Amino acid sequence: MENAWAKFTGNVHLHRTVVLILLIAVLYLARGMMNTILLTFIFTYLIVHWVRLIQRWVPKIPTVVIVIVTYIILIFGIYYVVTDYLPMLINEIVKMVNSMVKFYQSDDMKWLMRYINRYVSTSTLIDQAKHGMNFAVDTLTRIGTLTIAVFMSLILSFFYTIELQQMEDFSRQFLETKYLNWLFGDIYYFGKTFVNTFGVVLEAQFFIAICNTALTMICLSFMKMPQIFALGIMVFVLSLVPVAGVIISLVPLSLVGYQVGGIRDVIYIIIMIMVIHALEAYILNPKFMSSRTELPIFYTFVVLLVAEHLWGTWGLIVGVPIFTFLLDVFGVKQVKQRRGSEMVKK
- Mean pLDDT value of segment 287-292: 66
Greater pLDDT, 135 or 266: 266
pLDDT the model gives residue 289? 64
Q: Note whether residue 58 is domain-resident.
A: no
What's the CA angle centered on 312, arms 308 and 315, to 5 degrees?
Answer: 55
Give the residue with greater pLDDT, 178 vs 267. Answer: 267
Distance between start and end Cα atoms, the chain: 46
**Rounded mean pLDDT of 250-278?**
80
What would the pLDDT profile of 203-216 be if each residue is shown by its tens digit? 777 788 888 888 88
Residue 269: what pLDDT?
Answer: 85
Select, from the ranges 136-140, 259-263, 286-290, the one with the highest average predicted confidence (pLDDT). 259-263
pLDDT score recorded for residue 22: 92
User: What region, left, alpha or beta, does residue 140 occupy, with left being phi > 0 and alpha being psi -120 to 50 degrees?
Assistant: alpha
With respect to residue 272, please indicate whether it lies within any of the assigned structural domains: yes
Distance CA 258, CA 92 (A): 9
Residue 197, exposed/middle/buried by CB under 10 A (0-12, 13-18, 19+)?
buried
Containing structural domain, residue 309:
198-337
Closest by Cα among 277, 197, 204 to 245: 277
Cβ within 8 Å of residue 157, ≥6 positions away: 40, 43, 44, 47
Q: Is residue 253 part of a domain?
A: yes
Q: Give the model's pLDDT for residue 104.
A: 57
Over 50: is that where the pLDDT of 296 sits?
yes
Chain mean pLDDT for the chain: 76
In a domain? residue 306 = yes
Cα distance between residue 280 and residue 255, in whole Å? 23
Query: Does residue 171 form part of some domain?
Result: no
Count of the separate structural domains present in the chain: 1
pLDDT in tens, 228-258: 777 777 788 777 665 556 667 777 777 777 7
pLDDT at site 93: 61
Q: 33: pLDDT confidence band, cut at 50, 70 and 90?
A: confident
